[in-house]
């Protein structure tokens, strides 16, 4: 039987590993986007990559709609958009019937970045599927219950 102290120690180890893995994954993602062979020599922030992805998935995105979806300020999105425009990842346009609002669309370079982002997510998803494929469905149900409980517990800790 696992004692409460042992559970607490395991919990600390899991949290430590998750934090380390998050840092490694973010570093790998940023490194992949900054590889010279991809023609992307400027450093990208994760928020910039996510703005590119969002622009590619939305119809007529503007600063306000992007800010709402990303839970960021309009000022922050405006700065990111300016940087992405300078790099040639996005371009702005206006609708013929609305010359007031400015919208964004991806350039071919932005499409390449979005595609790479999707590929990296697909690779990460495959690693997760491969990892969990070693367990039987009954074991997966227990894991699901456990992870749901952990997620709720973390949410409750963040509220406190």
The per-residue pLDDT for range 16-61, each reduced to its tens digit, is: 666 666 666 666 666 665 554 355 545 788 889 899 999 999 999 9
User: Which range marks the domain in which residue 124 is found?
Assistant: 42-159
The number of domains in the chain is 1
The residue assigned the tokens 């973010």 is: 26
Q: Is there a domain that residue 151 lies in?
A: yes
Interatomic CA distance for residues 158 and 160, integer angstroms: 6
Average pLDDT score, the chain: 82
Is the pTM here over 0.75, yes or no? Answer: no
CATH number at residue 119: 1.10.10.10
Residue 30 lies in a domain: no
The predicted pLDDT at position 78 comes to 97
Name the residue with tokens 């990111």.
80
Residues listed for the chain: 160
Residue 23 falls inside a structural domain: no
Question: Residues 61-73: pLDDT tens digits?
Answer: 999 999 999 999 9
130 in a domain, yes or no?
yes
Report if residue 67 sits inside a domain: yes
Confidence category of residue 86, pLDDT binned at 50, 70, 90 = very high
């Amino acid at each position: 039987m696992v004692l409460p102290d042992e559970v607490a120690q395991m919990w600390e180890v899991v949290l430590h590993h998750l934090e380390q893995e998050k840092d490694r994954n973010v570093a790998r993602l940023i490194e992949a986007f900054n590889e010279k062979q991809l023609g992307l020599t400027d450093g990208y922030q994760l928020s910039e990559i996510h703005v590119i992805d969002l622009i590619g998935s939305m119809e007529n995105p503007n600063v306000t709609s992007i800010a709402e979806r990303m839970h960021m300020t309009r000022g922050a999105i405006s700065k990111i958009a300016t940087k992405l425009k300078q790099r040639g990842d996005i371009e702005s346009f206006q609708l013929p019937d609305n010359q007031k609002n400015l919208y964004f669309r991806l350039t071919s370079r932005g499409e390449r970045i979005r595609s790479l982002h999707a590929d990296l997510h697909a690779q990460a998803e495959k690693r997760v599927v491969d990892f969990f494929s070693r367990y039987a469905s009954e074991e997966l149900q227990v894991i699901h219950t456990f992870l749901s409980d952990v997620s709720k517990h973390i949410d409750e800790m963040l509220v406190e």
